[in-house]
Chain A
């Protein structure tokens, strides 16, 4: 979402309210342009052109429906149209439209043909439902019922908890920082080389809405541990069970939350991820 474009579009629509004597045609054109601009430039990452086209078609239909719902408006637009196509004073503009429109269409076709097709886009489920249990270094970890074994220390023994967080800090800066970045915003030194890009832990849609067991699963099994709908072949997230001990992985989980100030999703609502 590009906030600036959104603001400009809204400002444009508000400004239209203050234009004196604007007729229904002006309104329709204004809305059409506003929504088009937002679809085209306001969304980040950009929508594929086919989807954009679909939305624009729906928008056009909706505006026509809106128009025909009010017979006075409809009559007015129709009269304007009839006048434009038949009256002498409009002849020159009419000829111009008849000449220019086909040229624009030809230009559009030219770009479509010469540009060539765009590479296929793969859609992926970002947070697939986790398995119920995983095997790490011979240990079975029950992802439904087991909690971070060191989380309880937070209240019971803050000093010991602090040690685990500090160990997590070390693990993070020795291993994760190159991808997830210094401030955990998913923009590390190597992030530009990977697609999907490394997760942004500052964002409210990653660790903030997941349980620690889910995070542990993702850390231990990495990209290759994902189910097919999450394109495991593209994810650069390493399977850390190859490098780290179970304790290190729980500790780095603590550190992710400690550093970002997020809290893990509470245990009551079972199910972990599942959201797309």
Chain B
């Protein structure tokens, strides 16, 4: 059995034959069971055709192409993927998912069946487009030749590319029928039948019951994609991309491959996933506070704030001050605000894979500077938490530093520990200098289907005058990701605009302006005609 020798170790067997996973509706990632299952059933299936079919030779490029690729790789890629391609570059410890280990020959984004190597075009596509919201950047500045040379070089890290597996099968992606609501509706049933919710959650927010336990092939926890944020999809966000993702699976990650028949059901599932998300995040630069006569009832949650989507701000890791957060658990926060004569109510909403409601949290907790960066450990020591920040005074000559203020200009921080549900306020003069504030906000928080919603209510002070822009910033802590104190997700300063209670009606100004224009036009024409007539008759 010469073929068997080309398979070098157990991991490889598990991977090469993971095509067999497709038949199972839900695959929990357990390597040992997979291997025995594989050895029993799949090995002959995979190997048999190989003994029969003569494969065309793989395209490995010329020596000088690989050498050109190597030089580029050392310059641009080795910092993350490592000099030897093992995914162990200097930046690797700070990234989750980790940079790919090319020696394993396992690729996520492929047009080939699960368990097979990617095509050259697949690898080139990933290099060109990157994998958004992960450490893998896009490389649009490299030209086609450079990218091809890189591909040739990457293929040298794993022998399978030059062996009998080097020319993988390609799955044809049929032309998609156009999107339809009814198909998306049917897709929901397909989503449930195939138990996608086990990982991705009922609302698709990546909060399914298995989500907290998933592991990548390389041993780190990985979060299921948040299907309501299509722009974060590492394999692309078109309908063809989504079809390819669940048809071929993302090898090395727990995302299985499925063959969903009939084909209409596949497209229905695509349309359902597609319908869960907007096209792009549409990040805002300001939020608008609307005037409401009656006080907001926080227990009504979102309903009290109107149905439309609020302002959505990007949240990124706090990597500026010691206690850095390289892989924050939250990547965006939605904000809606209502106010009346006495109160201001702020609704903050963000997606979180799991609610940590035990333990405690605070903005001034110490984070040892030497703490190892690991993502997603279930410790139950730190709870989820959120804070909203305003300058303590609105000065014309500038603002406080966006990270909890500075000595010159302090900030007011309204903080909610979501374990106790208790609201606290702080006066911040820098992250090392947080003192308790006078009045605590009242907080009402709920967690449902992978989303936290927290409503802060505070007496309205003179800062929040009608028709003003008040600087506003946010911090979010994901307890599941060991976040507390400086280790958190942050935003820069944005603005909160308080819309006047009396919205001026546009009718009067419109009438005035158009009336004036009409008057001017008529007078010009009248004048011209008068002058013309007199000059003609003269």
Using a CB–CB cutoff of 8 Å, the interface residues on chain A facing chain B are 81-82, 85-86, 94, 97-98, 101-103, 105-106, 108-110, 113-114, 116-117, 119-120, 169-170, 172-174, 177-179, 181-183, 185, 187-190, 192-195, 222-224, 228, 231-234, 236, 238, 242-243, 259
Question: How many contacting A-B pairs (Cβ < 8 A)?
Answer: 144
Further 18 A-B residue pairs, CB within 8 A, beyond A81-B528, A82-B528:
A85-B525, A103-B514, A105-B517, A109-B514, A110-B506, A119-B285, A120-B495, A172-B79, A183-B137, A183-B139, A183-B141, A187-B137, A193-B492, A233-B399, A233-B400, A236-B492, A242-B322, A259-B75
- A179 / chain B contacts, CB cutoff of 8 Å: 319
Q: Are B513 and A105 in contact (CB under 8 A)?
A: yes
Closest to B499 in A: A116
- B506 / chain A contacts, CB cutoff of 8 Å: 109-110, 113-114
Q: Which of B356-401 contact A (CB under 8 A)?
A: 397-401
> What's the Cα separation between A198 and B529 when bound, in Å?
62
> What's the Cα separation between A85 and B94 when bound, in Å?
73
> What's the Cα separation between A185 and B94 when bound, in Å?
20
Q: Which of A85, A101, A231 contacts B528 (CB 8 A)?
A: A85
Q: Which of A98, A108, A228, A233 contacts B521 (CB 8 A)?
A: A98
Interface of A is mostly: helix
- Known contacts A82-B528, A173-B80; A119 and B135 CB within 8 A of each other: no
B335 interface residue, CB < 8 Å from A? no
Using a CB–CB cutoff of 8 Å, the interface residues on chain B facing chain A are 75-76, 79-80, 89-91, 94, 133-135, 137, 139, 141, 283, 285-286, 288, 314-317, 319-322, 326, 397-402, 406, 409, 467, 469, 490-493, 495, 497, 499, 504, 506, 509-511, 513-515, 517-518, 521-522, 524-525, 528-529, 532
- A94 / chain B contacts, CB cutoff of 8 Å: 525
- A174 / chain B contacts, CB cutoff of 8 Å: 90-91, 94
Q: Which of B141, B490, B509, B532 contacts A82 (CB 8 A)?
A: B532
> What's the Cα separation between A233 and B528 when bound, in Å?
59
> What's the Cα separation between A243 and B497 when bound, in Å?
37
Q: Which of B75, B139, B524 contacts A85 (CB 8 A)?
A: B524
Q: Are A182 and B76 in contact (CB under 8 A)?
A: yes
Q: Are B286 and A119 in contact (CB under 8 A)?
A: yes
Q: Are A173 and B528 in contact (CB under 8 A)?
A: no
Closest to B510 in A: A106
> What's the Cα separation between A105 and B522 when bound, in Å?
15
Q: Are A102 and B90 in contact (CB under 8 A)?
A: no
- Known contacts A102-B517, A116-B497, A231-B398; A183 and B320 CB within 8 A of each other: no
- B400 / chain A contacts, CB cutoff of 8 Å: 233
Q: Are A193 and B402 in contact (CB under 8 A)?
A: no
Closest to B526 in A: A85
Which interface residue of B75, B288, B492, B529 has the most chain A CB atoms within 10 A?
B492
- A228 / chain B contacts, CB cutoff of 8 Å: 397-398
- B521 / chain A contacts, CB cutoff of 8 Å: 97-98, 101-102
> What's the Cα separation between A243 and B369 when bound, in Å?
9
> What's the Cα separation between A170 and B80 when bound, in Å?
10
Closest to B527 in A: A85
Q: Are A181 and B137 in contact (CB under 8 A)?
A: yes
Which interface residue of B139, B399, B402 has the most chain A CB atoms within 10 A?
B402
User: In the complex, how many angstroms separate the beta carbon of A72 from the nearest chain B beta carbon?
Assistant: 20
- List 8 tightest A-B contacts by C-beta distance, closest first: A193-B316, A102-B514, A190-B316, A173-B79, A106-B514, A113-B506, A85-B528, A173-B91
Q: Are A234 and B492 in contact (CB under 8 A)?
A: yes
User: In the complex, how many angstroms separate the beta carbon of B504 from the nearest chain A beta carbon?
Assistant: 6
> What's the Cα separation between A194 and B490 when bound, in Å?
10
> What's the Cα separation between A224 and B403 when bound, in Å?
11
- Known contacts A102-B518, A189-B133; A195 and B495 CB within 8 A of each other: no
Closest to B490 in A: A193
Q: Are A232 and B319 in contact (CB under 8 A)?
A: no
Which interface residue of A105, A170, A188 has the most chain B CB atoms within 10 A?
A105
User: In the complex, how many angstroms separate the beta carbon of B44 from the nearest chain A beta carbon?
Assistant: 44
> What's the Cα separation between A231 and B141 when bound, in Å?
32
Q: Are A233 and B402 in contact (CB under 8 A)?
A: yes
> What's the Cα separation between A193 and B315 when bound, in Å?
6
> What's the Cα separation between A165 and B489 when bound, in Å?
32
> What's the Cα separation between A98 and B321 when bound, in Å?
63
* 14 A-B contact pairs sorted by A residue (CB < 8 Å): A85-B529, A86-B528, A117-B497, A120-B469, A169-B90, A173-B91, A178-B319, A183-B76, A183-B139, A185-B141, A223-B320, A234-B492, A236-B402, A236-B492
User: In the complex, how many angstroms separate the beta carbon of A211 from the nearest chain B beta carbon?
Assistant: 25
Closest to A118 in B: B286
Q: Are A192 and B283 in contact (CB under 8 A)?
A: yes
- A224 / chain B contacts, CB cutoff of 8 Å: 401, 406
> What's the Cα separation between A222 and B94 when bound, in Å?
21
Which interface residue of B133, B134, B320 has the most chain A CB atoms within 10 A?
B320
Q: Which of B90, B285, B495 contacts A173 (CB 8 A)?
A: B90
> What's the Cα separation between A194 and B285 when bound, in Å?
11
- A194 / chain B contacts, CB cutoff of 8 Å: 316, 492
> What's the Cα separation between A97 and B520 when bound, in Å?
12
> What's the Cα separation between A181 and B76 when bound, in Å?
11
Q: Are A234 and B402 in contact (CB under 8 A)?
A: yes
Which interface residue of B398, B409, B467, B511 has the most chain A CB atoms within 10 A?
B398
Closest to B317 in A: A190
Q: Which of B319, B399, B509 contacts A190 (CB 8 A)?
A: B319
> What's the Cα separation between A116 and B89 when bound, in Å?
50
> What's the Cα separation between A85 and B526 when bound, in Å?
9
Q: Are A169 and B79 in contact (CB under 8 A)?
A: yes
- Known contacts A119-B497, A189-B133; A178 and B317 CB within 8 A of each other: yes
> What's the Cα separation between A61 and B150 when bound, in Å?
57
Q: Are A86 and B89 in contact (CB under 8 A)?
A: no
- B397 / chain A contacts, CB cutoff of 8 Å: 228
- B524 / chain A contacts, CB cutoff of 8 Å: 85
- B314 / chain A contacts, CB cutoff of 8 Å: 192-193
Q: Are B514 and A236 in contact (CB under 8 A)?
A: no
- A187 / chain B contacts, CB cutoff of 8 Å: 137
Closest to B495 in A: A119
> What's the Cα separation between A39 and B429 when bound, in Å?
42
Q: Are B517 and A101 in contact (CB under 8 A)?
A: yes
> What's the Cα separation between A110 and B80 when bound, in Å?
53
- A169 / chain B contacts, CB cutoff of 8 Å: 79, 90
Closest to A95 in B: B525
Q: Are A113 and B504 in contact (CB under 8 A)?
A: yes
User: In the complex, how many angstroms separate the beta carbon of B431 from the nearest chain A beta carbon?
Assistant: 11
Closest to A174 in B: B90
- A113 / chain B contacts, CB cutoff of 8 Å: 504, 506, 509-510
User: In the complex, how many angstroms separate the beta carbon of A92 from the nearest chain B beta carbon?
Assistant: 14
- B141 / chain A contacts, CB cutoff of 8 Å: 183, 185
Q: Are A238 and B320 in contact (CB under 8 A)?
A: yes
Closest to A81 in B: B528
User: In the complex, how many angstroms separate the beta carbon of B329 from the nearest chain A beta carbon?
Assistant: 14
> What's the Cα separation between A193 and B398 when bound, in Å?
20
- Known contacts A113-B504, A173-B90; A105 and B514 CB within 8 A of each other: yes
